[in-house]
């Protein structure tokens, strides 16, 4: 797999994990909102109301509850973001060959090996932006871990990361700098090296190379 495909696949796997987390968070939020609404509908049996009276000074409780109920349920921002990201993915998947499934991210994953390198690179940029947006909302970082004792096969920098989203056989290694490929003659010595992308390797290749050098 060329670097563009490795990046694109890693981006889909990262986004897939982030979307799963976002879906779970949307469920929790929906439950919390339902509980809040139930509490508003039954103010006398509401635990939160009990605390309010204990604190005192809130005037007419029934009036408060009615005002809150009229304002309607607060939006579920996690569900809204989930919906928005899936819509964007569906717009991308719309241009790709059908896979029989309805999951747009899966359709994108299946289509990657058949894409032009430039298309894969554009796709990576789009997926990474969506991934960052979801992770920012969830306050989670990228799924990557430092790989101790291993140097970058291209620039020899001694901080490389394993990108661990998805199944282990699909894990990849990227340089911590990160360094970019200069194409033919690059120190990465990868067959079919192309100029431009940040260096990326299948994890198994880096580990084998490392073990071979020691
Ligand atoms: Zn490097
Ligand atoms: Zn290179």
In the reported structure, the alpha carbon of residue 111 is separated from the centroid of ligand 1 by a whole-number distance in angstroms of 29
Question: Residues 127, 148: one domain?
Answer: no
With cut-offs at 50, 70 and 90, classify the pLDDT of residue 56: very low
Of 107, 141, 175, the position where a domain reaches its end is 141
What global pTM score does this model have?
0.82
Instruction: Give the number of C-alpha atoms closer than 13 A to the C-alpha of residue 11, restricted to the C-beta side.
Output: 24
Domain range for 129:
1-141
In the reported structure, the alpha carbon of residue 153 is separated from the centroid of ligand 2 by a whole-number distance in angstroms of 9
Q: Which pLDDT score is estimated for 48?
A: 53
Q: Is 193 helix (H, G, I), strand (E, B) or coil?
A: coil
Q: Containing H/E element for 76?
A: none
C-alpha torsion angle, residues 101, 106, 108, 109 (rounded to 10) = -130
In the reported structure, the alpha carbon of residue 110 is separated from the centroid of ligand 2 by a whole-number distance in angstroms of 26
With a cut of 60, say whether residue 50 has pLDDT above it.
Answer: no
Residues 179/157, Cβ–Cβ less than 8 Å: yes
Nearest bound ligand to the CA of residue 206: 1
Tens digit of each residue's pLDDT (9 = 90 or more) over 171-191? 999 999 989 999 989 998 887
With a cut of 60, say whether residue 11 has pLDDT above it.
Answer: yes
Tens digit of each residue's pLDDT (9 = 90 or more) over 24-42? 999 999 999 999 999 888 7
In the reported structure, the alpha carbon of residue 163 is separated from the centroid of ligand 2 by a whole-number distance in angstroms of 18
Question: Residues 110, 89: one domain?
Answer: yes
Q: Which pLDDT score is estimated for 206?
A: 87
Q: Which pLDDT score is estimated for 28?
A: 97
Distance in angstroms (rounded) separating the CA atoms of residues 179 and 173: 12
Structural domains in the chain (count): 2
């Amino acid at each position: 797999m060329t670097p563009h495909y490795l990046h694109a696949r890693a981006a889909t796997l990262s986004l897939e994990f982030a979307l799963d987390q976002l879906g779970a968070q949307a469920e929790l939020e929906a439950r919390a909102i339902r509980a809040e609404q139930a509490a508003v509908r039954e103010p006398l049996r509401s635990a939160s109301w009990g605390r309010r009276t204990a604190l005192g000074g809130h005037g007419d409780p029934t009036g408060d509850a009615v005002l809150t109920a009229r304002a309607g349920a607060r939006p579920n921002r996690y569900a809204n973001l989930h919906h928005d990201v899936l819509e964007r993915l569906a717009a991308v998947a719309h241009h790709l060959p059908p896979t029989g499934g309805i999951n747009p991210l899966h359709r994108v994953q299946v289509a990657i090996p058949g894409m032009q390198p430039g298309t894969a690179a554009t796709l990576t940029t789009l997926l990474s932006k969506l991934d960052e947006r979801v992770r920012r909302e969830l306050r989670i970082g990228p799924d990557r871990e430092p790989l101790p004792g291993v140097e970058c096969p291209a620039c020899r920098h001694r901080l490389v990361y394993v990108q661990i989203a998805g199944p282990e056989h699909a894990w990849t290694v990227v340089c911590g700098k990160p360094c970019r490929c200069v194409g033919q003659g690059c120190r990465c010595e990868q067959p079919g090296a192309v100029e431009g992308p940040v260096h990326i390797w299948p994890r198994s290749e880096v580990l084998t190379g490392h073990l071979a050098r020691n």
